[in-house]
Each structure stands twice: as C-alpha cells, then as structure tokens.
Structure 1
C-alpha cells in the first residue's frame, strides 16, 4: 500500500508528464493553429443596409443578421446572464477553467454529464477559427487557441467578440441581432425575462428556440434565471417577476423605417454589380441613396391612391372568395346564418391571404341594409358604413359598369372574403387594383433620384416599371419633336395647319390618316398652342417638315436609344416605347436649360467602420460652372440656386481632387429648352375663352398646385393602353405612368356614379385623368419645400407682341394679341394687316378635353 509520500511523488510525476505531453503536443500542433491576430482588426460579416438620404433604413440584404455592439452598448443584465450561464469564472481563469475542465473529465470517466468544459474564450476560438467536430484533437486545438486569444486580447474584448459572434437562431448572430429578430427591440430595451431567453440560446439555438420550441425555451429561461439568482446578479423579487412572464418572442425582420422597396432593390442590384454578391452581403456596407423619405412617402401615397381611385371608378369585381357559397338572395329576405362562421375558420381563411398595405383581407360577418361588419386578421371587428360601400357598382368590363347599388347585399354577402382599407377613422371596401402604375422623380441639376415607385406593391410584383417597363409614350414624345422643329426654322409663333391629313408619305408611299383626339381641328394654329393642346396632326406636319433624318438624332440627344425609335411618322405621336426613367431623364433636359443628366441612386457607401468607400460625383447641369469653387462649393450664378438646392448639390460633390467637378453634356441650347418650357407651361396654364371655340391646355388640372413655375405634358397612346404625365419645375422633374401589364387591355372609360360626388372622374381615360392626378399629388409635396423659381430667360431671347391668329407682329394691345418669346433673329418682321377683332367674343363653353 502506497504511503502519502509515494502518492505525492506519483501525482507530481503525472503532473510533470502531463505538462511535458501538453508542451510536446503544442509544438507538434503549433503550425496547424490558426493565427488570432485577425481578431485585433476584425471586420464583422454584417448585412448590407440601405438608407434614404436622410438616414432612414429602407432594407437590408444578407443571410447573416448581425448588429455589432460594444460591451458598453450591451445591458449589464445581459452580460451578467451570459456570465452566470456560460462561464461564471470568466474573469478569473486564463482561457481554460481548471475547475470546469476537471469536472468535465471526471464526468466522462464515470459516465455522467457534469457540464461542458468550454469557457467563453474557448467558444470564441471555436466560433472564429475551428469547427464543431467532436474530437480530442479539435478540443486540444481549441485550448491552445484560447491561450493565444487570452494573451492577445483583454477579457472585455473577448466577451464582446463572443456576444457579437455567437449564433442564436433564425440567422441571427450576436445579441444585437437576436433582440431585433425575436423581439423587434434594441437590446437595451429588453426585459429581464427576454434577456434570460436570449442568454439561454447559445447552448442549442435550434432546440431552445422561443419561436419553434417555446416550451423548451421556457425551461431554459428558468435555468438562466436560477443561475443569475444564485450568483447574486438579480434579487428574489426580480427572479419571481421574470420567471412568471410569458414567452413573447415572434420572428421579426429588419426594422424598416421607410417603405421604398423598388428604390432599395435598385441600390441592391448596383451593389451586387459593384462588389459581387458575397462581398456585398457580408461587408457591412451602409448604402445611402439619393431618395428622401418625405418625397418617397409622398410618391408611394400618390401611386397607390391614384391606382385605387382608377380601379374603384371602374367597378367592383367581387370578393376574393366566399367561405359560404350562396345562391341569389332578395333584399327583403333576411339572411339566416344556418352555418355561422367560427373564429378558427375566419383565422384560417385570412392567414392564407396576403395583405398589401393599405389593403388587408377581411371576412364579411354581418350584412345590414347599408352597412356591413367585417373581421380582420387580428380578430378585430369593424363596421363599414355606406360611404365606404356605395362606390361598389358591378364591374362589367373596362368600358362599362353596372348601376349604382342601393343596398349592401347587392355588393357583398355573408362570409365573403374581401379587401378593406382604412380611410381616416373609418374602413372602406376595396380591391387589389388590376391596373399598374409607376412614378419617378429626379433632380434635373444632377440626376439624383428623389423618389421611385415601380408598382402598387413590391410584395405582389418585383417588376420595377420605372426601369423595366418599356411602354409607348404617346404625346409625351411631342415636346422632343417640337424641340427639333425649333432647331429647324420653326418658332413658337409659326403657323401650322391643324387639319386632317389625307395624303401619302412621299418616302414610304403609305397613306396614313392621323387624327386629333378628339377629332376637333382649329385650322391655322400657332406652334405653341398646338403643343399646349397636343394637336396630333400638327406634330405629324412638323415631323414631316423637319424630316426623319434630323428627328432621330435630335431625340437621341435626350438619351433615347436611336435604334429603339420607330423609323416612321408614327414616332411623332409616341409610338416609341420608353421607360418612365428614360422619359423623366429626357424632360430633365428642358428643366435644366439643355443638359443631359444621368440618373443615379447611390449617393455614398460606407464600410462597417463608417469610412466612405464611394462618393457619387455626378455630372452637374451647368454651362458656366464658376459657381463652383476649387472645393466644389457652390457660390454664385446668374441663375440663382435656392439655398436648400445649394446644400444638396454641395453634399453630393466630393471636395477631393480625386473627384473633380464634372460638367454634364449640353445637348440643346438654353434658348431651345426655354422655349419648349414656355409651351409646356402653356399646357398647364394656357387658356383662351375669348375665341370660339375656347380652349385650354391639356394639363390644366395642374393649376390646382397654384404654381406658375411648372410645365408639363400629358400623354396617351392609341386606345388608351398607356397614360402619362411628365412635368417639372426648375429643380424637380417627375413622370407618372399608368396602364395594364397586359398590353392587350386598355384603360377604358367610366360612367357617372350617382352615389359619389360631382367631382368624380368620368369618361374616357387618358393622361390628364389617369396619370396626372398622381403627378399632382406628388408635386404638391415636392414643391412645398421649393421656393417659386421662374424659368430664367437666357441670353439671345427676345419678347415681342404678336397677333394670336397669325403669329405676326401687332400694335394692338387687346385680346387679339399676346407677348411671345423668340430666339434672337427669329422674331417675325411683318405686321398683321387684317383686323381680327371681330373673331373675339366672350365664350364660356369649354371644349372637350384632349390628350
């Protein structure tokens, strides 16, 4: 039997042998151990986040969700919960806990689980550098790597690495991301009960998950709270309150502050093109776009409201489905609910139907004489009064609607599943629009995209109609054709015959008979008024006079691809197919006095450390750029720029010598741009009721903005398959489009609904009725922050008084004359000799609206 002295000798020998073996093993494995130096300058693999220009989160992209935090940003209770549960001697050991290791070894020898031997440092070593394979060699490597980490980093640095790296389920890594994923909170806002749930996840995030396994999460939370109580991190009162709290975790996405999915996707695709998918998704980039939250919200509202209004005036297409199919019912017969719906049935039905804000599915659970009750997905019951129902006459086809309803049961039945939307404090029956729409707004000064909406709902369709939908532009092409005419001998006062064309084209030999829409002809008409009234035959005559070989290059100068422009006279009426982005870019040239700008959406990119790795340096629409000094700071200009525009442009210009000021290409003269703008201003503000028949510009509805410093053009294609409105002020240009994704459908027409107010839109759909309302809604917001800024008259432009009817000079100052602008040297030299005063009289009859 060994004496104590002999036992001591054996123990010492075994210890020395173990140490020697450990040293030998270390030197044998040293070459295979990972370098931990990278932990000193760690770049977290965080998702790409896309922000508005004013810093609101629009979206994030990346498989791993991570919100890196410093230890100071983490609540003390969370740190205590981790230490109590994972490694309560963390600040005492040297990377390996001898007590924990001994306990684990003894447990292995006697076949009992005495707890894991891994310290927080060892878990950091495994998570950053090793695999999770269950082998002794891996464990030894983990121990040696932990020694290296402890030598290199402080305890606080190691703990911060652990709390940001650890996988916690649902693709969340670190507690910052887990707090957002499970509770939609910042980590500092978590309750003790919620902290305990998250602190219990590192052991097994898949099986202890509070979403998929709330029962196990509850048990694990109790363990965490018990450990915190035993280690005196919490009081008995705090323990009791937390352990009795319910499990409240639900899966949440990123906290999106600004709904701009089409804009975010444009930036997302550009980032992938720039960096590649893997780098873009893991580099922690913060992408700041040119989109502003105020304008983007306004654009979303404008498109959605306009689409719903168009759709509702064309009639109700019926419920999504019915949970109780019913036969015909008569008003006088009360509905007998033989088989009433139960709450589970309603919940199951609504859970299968998508919501498309502002539309939400609901089940009709009560039908009264002129009101109904509906149950929403959250079991909320709402009453819809007659005001929210009376619009819903039957949809027959795009051109025809049924009679206005008188009672609620003509519209819906019990157990119908429908869409509803909230209007103020009330709810209204609605439906998902069958038409589509798009709106884009740019800065004409540098091409910065201020707002972009590519459809009613990105959830429903990711197809971005702003950049991907090439649609015939109709009369939106005419300003560019007229611009070519001004470059080839015509003036705004030139007289053109507004009469039907019944002649063949000398080049093609084809007989083509274009008509005005409506088919009203004014005879001899000035060019400016013809554009304001969108006269089709005048556009064709100008096209013929200028010639295809001059028209195509001129249109190409506005950024339109010449190979995609039709090589015939139909081009003058808008047979070309362009995207809304291309159209807006073209109109920007008129707004900025003749420069071609390039739209862009990314203003700057920051890396995960906040360093700017990319700064947009767009070409600026300036001729004499002396208003920029050597640091790209705006100073002064003959065309004064409002202070808020100065600040915007300055912020988008780098002061670095690596990013010198770039001047945009001038593609038309400032005189040409100014004269077309005057004609497009006439399209909104122009009118003359002193002649017979009286007339007004096709965009007259824009007068509701009460801004004289705007210009615009309607556009409608054959059979009204597409409707447009493009317009601008000096500092913002916006294009609105509406139509069906199915090109075989046209926008149709709507008849008067006696249940609605007298201001309702009726008749055939076209640009002014269908597209311009969205433009007006958006521009009302956009112009509110822009001071009135008249379009500045450039050099070599003169203004003379002319006769309205002939375009010649006149000495009369009555209603037969107006002042008109001309390029120097092109003003008329001949005075009118005929007295036209007999053609002037008061006439208040409004002609039919035109395209």
Structure 2
C-alpha cells in the first residue's frame, strides 16, 4: 500500500500535467487553427465538362481530374480496402487513434526515427485540407486538434466521403472515381477486387506506387492491401488468392470522350472563361450543355473532312513524307508493265542477266525499326502513318502505325497522279511504282466508298469551315473550324474573314426588292467597261462563265449568278442604300467595301456571319443571334444558367412578348423573347424563291427554254423541293462558298487556302476515276474536272451534310406570308401575258408590285419557233 499511494499520486500528477500540457498547446495553437466549418460546404476542385445537346461528353477542362461520388456510389469492397489499409478503427475512435499514437511513440523511442505517423484517416484529411506533409511535431499536434474538431462537426460518413473524393492518386487523378477512369478507363462500380486494392494502395504514396509508373511496387502494395482485407475478414482466402495473382492491367486513359469536336469545345471553354474566370470555370465542376446535337456535328465533320480530301486528291499527290530506305539496284532483268497487273521478265539468248539464288533483303527495316519511325509521326483525323513494305504491279503492302499489315489495291492508288501546281497535275499513274516505292513513309486512310478498305492519302493543303444554325433561334447545330484542331487551332468558322464572292448577291437582290424591283424586273446582262480618267485604269468585271444573256429577269440573274446584273442592281439602288440594307443582316457597314465591287462579293465576312445573314432570309426577316451554350449545371446538377434566345415567330408579332408563343413555331410553350424584325417577310420570301431557282434545272429542254442554276447538283442529289441556296466564288477562285437552307436548317460551307495568295486552281480528268463512275464523279467527288468554284469545291460538303441531316425529315414548304400573289408573266419581258404556253410562267409578287402592262405580240420571243419553226402550245411548269 505504501508503494501504491505514491504511484497513484504520480499517475494523477502525470494526467493533470498531460491535460494541462494539451490545454496549453491548444490555447497556444488555437489562433493558428483553421475553422473546420468550411468542410460542411466544401467545393472540391472538379473539372469543367462540355456536353453535346444530347448529353455526349465532348471535352473536359481543368488540371485536376475528379469525379465526385457519394458514399453509396462507391463499392463497399473499395471502402473496405481503404479502411483496412489506412484506418481499421475509423468508426471506433474520435479522430485520434491512441493505440496508433502509442505505437508511433514506442517506435520513436526505440529507433530514434519518425518512421510511423500514427495518422488516422481523419488526421490525413485534416492534413490534406489545412496542413503540409512536413514531419514536424508541431504539425502533428495541429493535425490532432483539427481532426478532433472535424469529428465534432462532421459525421463519420461525411469524413470518409471527403477522403475518398479529395486525395491525389497520381496522374492528376483526385479521388477514387477519377482514379478508376485514369488507370482503368472504368466507372468505379465496374472495378475488380484487384483494381480496387490497387487504387486503395495509392493513398500512401501515389507517385511511387501507381501501376503505370511503378508496376512492381504497385503489385507489392496491392498484396499488402489484400492481406489487410483478409485479416479484417473483408474477403475470403479464395478472393485473396485470385486478386493477388491478377495481372497489372492499368494504362493511362483520357476522359471518356464520346464526341470529338474540339472546335466547338474550345468555343464553349472560352465563353465559360469570359463568364466565370479561368479558376472558377475549371474547378467548380460545371457541366456545360451545348445546342449542338452529336449526330449533326458528326455529319458536318465527316462532310468537311471528305470534301477536303476530295479536293486535295483530285489535284494530285505531293509524294511521301520521307523515304526510309532505298532498295539496292541490282543487275536484274528489267520488268515490263503488263495489263494483268503482274510483273513479267524476258531473257534472250544474246542478253543474259545475273539473278541471284537468294535475294538480299537485309536493307529492309524490320517491324521494330518501322514502328519506331511511325511512332514519331503525328496523326490527324482519319490519317494513319504507314511504311510501304512491298510493291506489286497495281497494289502495295504497308505496315501501319497500329502494327497492321495492309494491302492497298489500285482503287486506293489510282487517284495519285503527281501534283505539279494548283492548276496542273501530272499523267495518270499506270503502275504502283509510278506513285511510291518500297520504304516510303506515307499516310493512309479508310476508303470513303468502303470503310473496310484502305487507300493512299496525304495531309491536305487546303482549308475549310462549316457552320449550321437553327434559323428560328440561332442555335448552332454544327460547326467545323478546319481539318484538324490539333494541327491548327485557328477557327476559320468564326475567325477567318474571307471574300464572300457571289454569296453576297441574295442580300444585294433583297435591297433591290426593297427599292421597287421585282422577280420579273428586266436587267441587262451585258459587259461593263468603266474607265477612271484620273488613274487611267479601266474596270472590266466579267461573268464567271464569260457568257452574257442580254436583258433577263431578276430571278434568272440570281439563279445564274450573273455579275453584270448584280452590279446594275447596285447602281439602280445606290451604293449607300445597299450598304445600309446589308447592315440589317448583321454585316458591319464600316467593314464593307464602299465601291461597286461590293455587288460581286469583295466584302470579307466569316462563315458564321454569312450563315447568320442567310438565317434572317430563311426565317422571314428576324435577326436571330447565334449561340452555342444552352445551359450550365453545377456540380449538383442544378441549372445555374439557361439560354433565353430571341426567336423568329411570325404568329407572335401580334402578341406581347410575355405571352406564350404558338407551339408550331417555337416547339414549346415556354415564354419567349421575339427577335427584332429587320426585313419584311415578303422580301425574305421572294429572295428565298430566287435562291430556290439557283438549285434546280428550269424551263424546258424541248422548247429551248432550259437553263440550270449554279447550284443544280444539290437538288439532283438530294431530291427535295424544300431547298434554297447560293454558290460563291471570288476572283481566281481563292475563296469558294456555298450557303443554303431548308425551312428549319441553315448551313454555310467555305473552302480555300489559309495562304490567301493561293488559288484553288483547276483539275484535268483522271480517266480511271471518271470511267469507274462518270455520273457520280462528275456531280460530286474527287474526279471533278475544270476550274474550281463554289459548286465544285464548297457545295459537296453542304450536300453531304444535308443528305444526313434531312434523312427521314419530311419535306416542308417555306412559309408564304400575307400579301404574296402569283400572276402569269411573259418569260422574256416579265410583263403580264394571256398566253399559257412555254413562253409564259407564273411568278410571285408582293401585292401591289405586280406588272400592269401586257406583253405585245411583237414582243413575245419563242425560242422553239425561232429554232424549229414549229408552234407549240403545251404549258410548262411555273417559275
């Protein structure tokens, strides 16, 4: 008893001193301790994600990759693996594990080293949020106090959820959700036990234990995690044995991109930066939903890429990237070109050549050497680097960057006649070695007509852009800024101001309609020769085809894209009035040329500006504003911003903008904002009618009144009546355009070189491609012949896009506004007529502008009678 009492007193004194010491430390450190209340509403840094209109992931922006998960979204086995390894008594201690602390103290006394931290899961979380990883006594004391506070403020489940979502786990993955994606390309729910154990083991030291950088260390750590799970009875011996022997399957995975559309992703990213600032936009976990449906974007991208290759390949092959090896020259018999695609040799009694018994192939590179060379070559779009390993008469074999041995037949080679310059190509190839030789480093791509086959290809020199809008509200339906964002981030759809050529003419004709002209007005299509006495320079504009039709109706002038008619309309309306009218379509009057060249397209506009202008014509005169982001959601999937576009709605004009719009025009019953009207609906309709003429064959071949609009291929290939469009070509074909629309979709296509001094040139016939399918390739494809223009270079992308976008969409007539009437007029003079034969047709007019004079008999011109001397009275189609 005499020993017990002193020991008891000593114990009490020690306890009091310990409590006093702890209290002293707490009082001393309290001002330095952060408030853990912030953890109740903590915002983990989570990347911004960009989605298509239908919810497909397009891109992800942010340094830290994190997929926040609730505790019930994380598999129990993964939770068990973390608890067993990091803190098996997590649910039992108050944030500080006394047993662990005592174990660390004993280790320090015995070894003199701070080898064991004794940190609980809560203490680790406290350090991660508020402290550093420095091994110092004062840091450990702070860690203990903060952990204790955390246990008072948060529940155990809340602490565990924060821990599993916050910790860095290597390769910029934060939290177990992101780690599952980065290392295995899976959702966390789909992980195997071995994969869960691997991720659980990363918490100790992700930089040296991750399975990509250090697979052997990762396997050893995984074994420790599985042993701890076995010790804690979380798994059976059988599960342990199976998981511990599992192979390492981890490899670096990117975000699960479902739609690659980097140009629109970049646009959305910069809009978010402008709205929220870089740090908040990239770290608050915003989900950005665009107006662009994934299928429409894919249609546009496929159309642009194929059209670029078609143009580039019909202008010839510029040769391989490099020659990796040359076949040695041997004293062999000369091979001859044969018709049966085989090599044959002949010998004569007077001339014998030495043929070795064993052919030396040591000069050829092996697969490892070829793969090393191919791995250094950048891939773009559909292009795959490859090495030619063998050539036959009309085929080659290649080894691709993907490790495949591929044979390319003559259909995949025959296009590759030599490129001389933009306007000249060399002779058609006859055998494979006319194109490439063994050892050539080339690009290949899958064939457009049969994706199971491959063809020779090359990186295109030419550029392109494409924009599609919903004309009712300006929503961007598709946008392509170039061939490859990874080769050039310059967005030609929104940043490239290029001369628009004849794409300006519908807007010029709109101004003419506002000044009293009609679709039946007669304008003289005759040459213009204007001299400037001061400069001594004469301006002699020409029609693109070099032909002049004399006096023609205004509808025909736009359909045939007559430059002389457009210039004379500008003169009739007045330059200032034209510029003022063009500003209604959103074109900046300060950037428009203040001279007569404006009438034939010297203005420079972006494809987006052009498409927006045509949307106004399409929708009946409403100035809609293009927009890309439909809504923004926060990390909790709550909408924080919703687009409220101004809409085009004819039936809404008579109502207050606060009232509900008609369902047939707005597609919903929500409150809408009416877009400002900038053009009379009658004017917009009449321009649309003239643009419809440009896409079809008009008149009658039999009665000598036949003529084609410059965009006739569109109707021939799309087989629809509800289309309107306009080609555009500048001087020397440096810029080519095609813009057009159906009632609910507007699209603009541009093709040209980034180097504005280069012309798109012309092509001669590749006879092999023409013979293969002359009808198809003369209309659309890589064997078109002649000078490049809007119809040949830019229109094919528009056609291919519309073929997909309108597939299954019923034809729909364009909206006909009030006060539009039709009257029968004479085909030649545009005057009223009582004839009902092929010399007359029906024409649209705004009520009150229709002609009042009838054509005199001596004014009637009948080309059939003039040519054949046979009168006819059979009526033909209107317009």
Fold shared, TM-score > 0.5 on shorter chain = yes
Distance 1:377 1:241, change over 3 A: farther
SS at match of 2:673: coil
Q: Pick from 767, 776, 781: which aligns with 2:799?
A: 776
User: Is 1:800 matched with 2:827?
Assistant: no
* Distance in 1 (alpha carbons) for counterparts of 2:246 and 2:499: 61
Gaps of 5+ in 1: 656-660, 845-851
- Conserved in 2, the CA contact under 8 Å of 1:623 and 1:663? no
Matches within 5 A, 1:77-476: 77-111=77-111, 115-325=116-326, 331=335, 337-423=361-447, 424-476=451-503
> After superposition, what is the alpha-carbon deviation per residue over 1:652-682, rounded to whole angstroms, capped at 9, x for unaligned?
x6x5xxxxx3221111111110110000000
> After superposition, what is the alpha-carbon deviation per residue over 1:28-57, rounded to whole angstroms, capped at 9, x for unaligned?
222322111122222222111111111111
* Distance in 1 (alpha carbons) for counterparts of 2:581 and 2:379: 46
> After superposition, what is the alpha-carbon deviation per residue over 1:420-467, rounded to whole angstroms, capped at 9, x for unaligned?
112321111111111011100001111110110101111111111000
User: Is 1:522 matched with 2:534?
Assistant: no
Distance 1:793 1:287, change over 3 A: same
2:570 counterpart residue number = 543
Distance 1:236 1:376, change over 3 A: farther
* Distance in 2 (alpha carbons) for counterparts of 1:331 and 1:491: 70
Deviation at 1:322, TM superposition (A): 2.1
1:615 counterpart residue number = 642
Deviation at 1:326, TM superposition (A): 5.6
- Conserved in 2, the CA contact under 8 Å of 1:685 and 1:708? no
User: Is 1:480 matched with 2:501?
Assistant: no
Matches within 5 A, 1:347-746: 347-423=371-447, 424-504=451-531, 511-625=538-652, 633-635=660-662, 640-641=664-665, 646-647=667-668, 661-688=672-699, 689-690=701-702, 694-703=706-715, 704-746=717-759
Is the deviation greater in 373-382 or in 762-771?
A: 373-382
2:848 counterpart residue number = 825
Distance 1:605 1:632, change over 3 A: farther
* Distance in 2 (alpha carbons) for counterparts of 1:148 and 1:787: 66
> After superposition, what is the alpha-carbon deviation per residue over 1:458-494, rounded to whole angstroms, capped at 9, x for unaligned?
1111111000011000000011111111111211111
SS at match of 2:736: strand
* Distance in 2 (alpha carbons) for counterparts of 1:153 and 1:236: 36
Is the deviation greater in 580-589 or in 212-221?
A: 212-221
Distance 1:49 1:598, change over 3 A: same
* Distance in 1 (alpha carbons) for counterparts of 2:242 and 2:865: 86
SS at match of 2:767: coil
- Conserved in 2, the CA contact under 8 Å of 1:321 and 1:417? yes
1:849 counterpart residue number = none
Deviation at 1:5, TM superposition (A): 5.7
* Distance in 2 (alpha carbons) for counterparts of 1:508 and 1:545: 25
Distance 1:152 1:85, change over 3 A: same
1:848 counterpart residue number = none
Deviation at 1:686, TM superposition (A): 4.2
- Conserved in 1, the CA contact under 8 Å of 2:736 and 2:794? yes
> After superposition, what is the alpha-carbon deviation per residue over 1:124-148, rounded to whole angstroms, capped at 9, x for unaligned?
1111122223222221111111111
SS at match of 2:385: strand
Distance 1:124 1:785, change over 3 A: farther
2:355 counterpart residue number = none
SS at match of 2:303: helix
Deviation at 1:540, TM superposition (A): 0.9
* Distance in 1 (alpha carbons) for counterparts of 2:4 and 2:522: 124
User: Is 1:766 matched with 2:767?
Assistant: no
> After superposition, what is the alpha-carbon deviation per residue over 1:113-133, rounded to whole angstroms, capped at 9, x for unaligned?
663311111111111122223
Q: Figure out how many residues of one structure are paired with residues of the other and give that number.
A: 828
Is the deviation greater in 236-245 or in 90-99?
A: 236-245
Distance 1:555 1:510, change over 3 A: farther
Distance 1:102 1:317, change over 3 A: same
1:75 counterpart residue number = 75
- Conserved in 1, the CA contact under 8 Å of 2:703 and 2:838? no
* Distance in 1 (alpha carbons) for counterparts of 2:803 and 2:53: 20
- Conserved in 2, the CA contact under 8 Å of 1:595 and 1:668? yes
> After superposition, what is the alpha-carbon deviation per residue over 1:196-243, rounded to whole angstroms, capped at 9, x for unaligned?
221111111111122222222222222222222222222222222222
- Conserved in 1, the CA contact under 8 Å of 2:58 and 2:259? yes
2:838 counterpart residue number = 815
> After superposition, what is the alpha-carbon deviation per residue over 1:279-320, rounded to whole angstroms, capped at 9, x for unaligned?
111111111110111101101111111111111111111111
* Distance in 1 (alpha carbons) for counterparts of 2:367 and 2:850: 77
Distance 1:785 1:129, change over 3 A: farther
- Conserved in 1, the CA contact under 8 Å of 2:381 and 2:483? no
SS at match of 1:382: strand
- Conserved in 1, the CA contact under 8 Å of 2:180 and 2:188? yes
Give the alignment's Cα RMSD to 1 decimal.
Answer: 2.3
Distance 1:41 1:631, change over 3 A: farther
> After superposition, what is the alpha-carbon deviation per residue over 1:732-790, rounded to whole angstroms, capped at 9, x for unaligned?
11000011111111111111112213223111111011111100111122223543221
* Distance in 2 (alpha carbons) for counterparts of 1:793 and 1:307: 37
SS at match of 1:596: coil
Deviation at 1:534, TM superposition (A): 0.2
* Distance in 1 (alpha carbons) for counterparts of 2:865 and 2:555: 22
Deviation at 1:694, TM superposition (A): 3.9
Is the deviation greater in 199-208 or in 329-338?
A: 329-338
SS at match of 1:374: strand
Distance 1:721 1:841, change over 3 A: farther
Gaps of 5+ in 2: 337-342, 346-358, 778-782, 869-879
> After superposition, what is the alpha-carbon deviation per residue over 1:342-376, rounded to whole angstroms, capped at 9, x for unaligned?
22211211111111121111122222222222222
Deviation at 1:613, TM superposition (A): 1.3
Distance 1:108 1:581, change over 3 A: same
Is the deviation greater in 252-261 or in 371-380?
A: 371-380
SS at match of 2:737: strand
* Distance in 2 (alpha carbons) for counterparts of 1:108 and 1:633: 76
Deviation at 1:571, TM superposition (A): 0.8
- Conserved in 1, the CA contact under 8 Å of 2:95 and 2:148? yes
Distance 1:326 1:806, change over 3 A: farther
> After superposition, what is the alpha-carbon deviation per residue over 1:266-289, rounded to whole angstroms, capped at 9, x for unaligned?
111111011111111111111111
User: TM-score scaled to structure 2, two decimals?
Assistant: 0.91
Is the deviation greater in 324-333 or in 539-548?
A: 324-333
* Distance in 2 (alpha carbons) for counterparts of 1:783 and 1:437: 22
